[in-house]
Amino acid sequence: MRKDKRPEWLIKLDAVAMTIAQSKQVKRRNKGLLDELARVEAELLNMKVPKGWGGPMFSTDIGCPHCGGLCTDCAWHVYSPGGTRGKCIDAEFDGVRLDVVDGLLPLSLEYLAGMEMLVMHKTKTCTRQDMVECIALIRKFLNAHITWAEDNIRRRREK
């Protein structure tokens, strides 16, 4: 019987080394995006570019605490040593992978080494239901990142 009661996806993420400072950065990065998503949800559901966005996107420059701007030096190599597309792209956060939320239409979440973005893609074929599904998947991904960061902070403080 398994002692650790945490979900499997969270246990698997233990392989990625993360300090408390990095955890706080992950939490801040994802909390800010989650807050922005909540603030503009009504506009997004009406398929309108939200007020205050720089065109069809909202970005912040908190960035990734693991790569330091160089994905070749990333701590994620322990998670997916055989990964060919990018280390963190192969990670699942509560069943959702970055490459999934990065490729969504009409709203995607994009992570770069030094910034993160919510991007609205104007298409004639996407519906309100498509937007509802995008928002739900992005929200799940962001919340899982926050859970991971908080779990890491808690476990490091217990040591």
What span, in angstroms and rounded, lies between the C-alpha atoms of 69 and 65? 9
pLDDT at 73: 65
pLDDT of res. 152? 95
In this prediction, residue 49 carries a pLDDT of 92
Q: What pLDDT shows up at residue 1?
A: 59
Give the model's pLDDT for residue 98.
87
Largest CA distance in the chain: 53
Report the distance separating Cα 89 and Cα 83, nearest Å.
Answer: 8
pTM score: 0.91
Burial letters 10-44, b for 16+ CB under 10 A, else e: beebbebebeeebbbbbbebbbebbebbeebeeeb
| Three-state DSSP state, 14 | helix
3-state secondary structure of 81: coil
Whole-number pLDDT of residue 4: 87
Phi/psi region, residue 49 (left: phi>0; alpha: psi -120 to 50; beta: rest), is beta
For strand 96-97 and strand 92-93, is the pairing parallel, antiparallel, or unpaired? antiparallel
Query: What is the full per-residue pLDDT of the chain (159 aa) written as tens digits?
Result: 568 899 999 998 988 888 999 999 999 999 999 999 999 999 999 999 999 998 999 999 998 887 766 666 677 776 665 555 556 777 889 999 888 898 889 999 998 878 899 999 988 889 999 999 999 999 999 999 999 999 999 998 987
Output the pLDDT for position 82: 59
Domain coordinates in residue numbering, the chain: 11-158
